[in-house]
């Protein structure tokens, strides 16, 4: 080879060396060149994991690598991953895993930032599996989601969401129709004035007095061994342990007034009192002592939201949370939450609710947030993952709504006329009553 060509090749490699070495040194020290501004900037890092692990990571539609040096051994990064040497700017991060719905979020990285996206939960693309074909009049989930109860014309079916086993209990003709009410510990369920224990599957009738059935029964929200009922304008407590009844005198109740609804929290009573003229008031306080009276705005009220630590009452237009008073200092306050709540569920001190096309959250600071809007009425909801994810049932669909830097919604399955939405205790499966592919019954959907 001529000397001239050897010198050109040598000069080329010298120039290449002078160009590459500064770039390598820059990246080795966590910096990059911003060609638009002709300035040096620190590179950024993304930390991300997923459940399940092993999901492929894509940045702006291209397979991500753990660092710039991986271009010499190209291999797409998978979770759990630490993706380094990223130029500051906007990125669309996407996770893909076979058999799961893809996840996507838009982020913006600043120079030198190490952004931890945490553990992303991916949801299965599984199809609904029929657990039991049944046509039910009511379907109600237990408070923690361990069971789903379905009331038929002459029987009660209880499905265990831990093992998919179902038990059918025949109901005698003398069982009066009523709403299904689970005990707080999930060991018993009420149907009108009839009580069924899941331990022995036996049915017993709760009497206010010999031969006298109560007009209304409710559980003590903090003690599953106690039932409270109404009979002839009287409030009584039924102890399931010894079978005894104890009647309370409500001295504040006038002759032309009746108790239309109530909730009890370990002797702390909240009673809705209806007058003869149709007006209503709230009596609140400790049973056996004088009760404070709070006038209610016009409307016919009843209590909702059995699983919240504070009672919530509603009329046809508005919902109010009863703020517990400070002892000896103040009366209960009525905190207006929202109008037209269709479904609601407590989450600590917060309330997740729908009204009926909007999904909203009311927190302990009395803030009301819009989470999402739907094109179909919400029939049920169940927060999971500490409230970061909410499973929502609509008239014609089951969806997952996830809160985060960029909230998103996934459509899981077109189950119609759904009711009784519940999530298994391990939060791995949805159980719901509805219709799917011309079959009506209880379906399981793996999350």
pLDDT for res 266: 83
Task: Please write down the HEC assignment for all residues of 246-289.
Answer: EEECCCCCCCCEEEEEEEEECCEEEEEEEECCCCEEEEEEECCC
Query: What average pLDDT does range 244-257 have in this prediction?
Result: 87
Q: Where are the domains of the chain?
A: 39-121
400: which strand partners? 391, 410
Q: Which of 71-80, 84-93, 183-192, 220-229 has the lowest mean pLDDT?
A: 71-80
Query: How would residue 9 be classed by pLDDT, with cut points 50, 70 and 90?
Result: low
77: which strand partners? none
Query: What average pLDDT does range 303-331 have in this prediction?
Result: 73
| pLDDT higher than threshold 60 for residue 289 | yes
- Compute the half-sphere exposure of residue 71: CA atoms within 13 Å on the CB side of its CA: 6
pTM reported for the whole predicted model: 0.83
Between 48 and 407, the higher pLDDT residue: 48
| pLDDT higher than threshold 70 for residue 433 | yes
Query: What average pLDDT does range 351-367 have in this prediction?
Result: 85
Query: What average pLDDT does range 263-290 have in this prediction?
Result: 88
Tokens of 12: 């080329």
CB-based contact 179:168 (threshold 8 Å): no
Q: Distance between CA atoms of 130 and 219, rounded to whole angstroms?
A: 32
Task: Please write down the HEC assignment for all residues of the chain.
Answer: CCHHHHHHHHHHHHHHHHHHHHHHHHHHCCEEEECCCCEEEECEEEEEEEECCCCEEEECCEECCCCHHHHHCCCCCECCEEEEEECCEEEEEEEECCCECCEEEEEEECCCCEEEEEEEECCECCCCEEEEECCCCEEEECCCCCEEEEECCCEEEEEECCCCCEEEEECCCCCCCCCEEECCCCCEEEECCEEEECCCCCEEECCCECCECCCEEEEECCEEEEEEEEECCEEEEEECCCCCEEEECCCCCCCCEEEEEEEEECCEEEEEEEECCCCEEEEEEECCCCCEEEECCCCCCEEECCCCCCCEEECCCEEEEEECCCCCCCCCEEEEEEECCCEEEEECCEEEEECCCEEEEECCCCCEEEEEECCCCEEEEEEEHHHCEEEEEECCCEEEEECCCCCEEEEEECCEEEEEEEECCCCCEEEEEEEECCEEEEEEEEC
Q: Tell me what the pLDDT averaged over the chain comes to.
A: 83
Q: Distance between CA atoms of 193 and 214, rounded to whole angstroms?
A: 7
Tokens of 116: 């931890």
Dihedrals phi, psi of 12, to nearest 5 degrees: -60, -45
CB-based contact 332:318 (threshold 8 Å): no
Tokens of 407: 């909230």
User: Among 276, 268, 316, which Cα is nearest to 292's?
Assistant: 268
| Tens digits of residue pLDDT in 384-403 | 877 788 999 998 899 998 87
Secondary structure of residue 144 in the 3-state scheme: coil
Q: Distance between CA atoms of 164 and 320, rounded to whole angstroms?
A: 37
259: which strand partners? 273
| Tens digits of residue pLDDT in 23-79 | 555 555 555 555 455 556 678 888 999 889 999 999 898 888 776 555 555 567 888
| pLDDT higher than threshold 80 for residue 309 | no
pLDDT for res 125: 92
Q: Which residues contact 236 (CB under 8 A, 6 or more apart)?
A: 208, 214, 228, 229, 230, 245, 246, 247, 248
Tokens of 168: 């059918």
- Cis, peptide link before residue 65, omega less than 30° from 0: no
Dihedrals phi, psi of 94, to nearest 5 degrees: -135, 135
pLDDT for res 10: 62
* Pairing between β-strand 114-121 and β-strand 44-51 as defined by DSSP bridges: parallel
**Tell me: domain 39-121, CATH 2.40.110.10, correct?**
no
Query: What average pLDDT does range 322-326 have in this prediction?
Result: 66
Q: Distance between CA atoms of 302 and 314, rounded to whole angstroms?
A: 6
Q: Distance between CA atoms of 15 and 196, rounded to whole angstroms?
A: 86
Dihedrals phi, psi of 8, to nearest 5 degrees: -65, -45
């Amino acid at each position: 080879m001529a000397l001239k060509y050897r010198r050109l090749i040598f000069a080329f490699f010298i120039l290449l060396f002078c160009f590459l070495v500064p770039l390598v040194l820059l990246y080795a020290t966590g910096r990059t060149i911003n060609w638009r501004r002709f300035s040096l900037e620190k590179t950024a890092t993304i930390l991300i994991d997923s459940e399940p692990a092993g999901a492929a990571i894509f940045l702006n539609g291209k397979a991500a690598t753990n660092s710039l040096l991986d271009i010499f051994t190209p291999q797409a990064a998978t979770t759990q991953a630490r993706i380094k040497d990223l130029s500051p700017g906007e990125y669309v991060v996407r996770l893909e895993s076979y058999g799961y719905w893809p996840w996507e979020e838009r982020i913006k990285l600043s120079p030198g930032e190490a952004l931890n996206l945490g553990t992303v939960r991916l949801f299965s693309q599984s199809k609904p599996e029929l657990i039991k074909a049944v046509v039910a009049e009511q379907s109600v989930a237990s408070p923690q989601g361990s069971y789903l109860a379905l009331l038929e014309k002459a029987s009660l079916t209880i499905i265990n969401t831990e093992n998919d086993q179902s038990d059918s209990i025949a109901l005698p003709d003398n069982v009066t129709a009523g709403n299904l009410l689970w005990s707080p510990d999930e060991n018993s369920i009420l149907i009108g004035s009839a009580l069924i224990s899941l331990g022995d599957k036996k049915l017993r009738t709760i009497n206010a007095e010999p031969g006298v059935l109560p007009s209304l029964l409710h559980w003590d929200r903090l003690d599953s061994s106690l039932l409270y009922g109404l009979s002839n304008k009287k409030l009584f407590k039924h102890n399931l342990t010894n079978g005894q009844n104890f009647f309370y005198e409500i001295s504040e109740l006038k002759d032309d007034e009746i108790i239309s609804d109530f909730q009890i929290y370990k002797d702390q009573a909240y009673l809705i009192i209806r007058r003869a003229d149709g007006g209503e008031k709230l009596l609140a306080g400790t049973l056996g002592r004088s009760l404070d009276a709070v006038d209610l705005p016009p409307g016919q009220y009843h209590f909702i939201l059995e699983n919240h630590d504070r009672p919530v009452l509603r009329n046809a237009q508005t919902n109010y949370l009863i703020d517990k008073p400070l002892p000896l200092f103040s009366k209960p306050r009525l905190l207006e939450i929202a109008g037209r709540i269709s479904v609601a569920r407590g989450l600590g001190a917060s309330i997740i609710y729908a009204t009926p096309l909007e999904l909203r959250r009311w927190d302990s600071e009395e803030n009301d947030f819009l989470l999402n809007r739907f094109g179909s009425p919400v029939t049920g909801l169940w927060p999971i993952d500490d409230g970061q994810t909410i499973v929502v049932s609509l008239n014609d669909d089951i969806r997952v709504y996830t809160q985060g830097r960029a909230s998103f919604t996934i459509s899981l399955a077109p189950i119609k006329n759904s009711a009784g939405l519940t999530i298994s205790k391990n939060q791995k499966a949805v159980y719901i009553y509805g219709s799917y592919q011309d079959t009506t019954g209880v379906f399981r959907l793996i999350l």
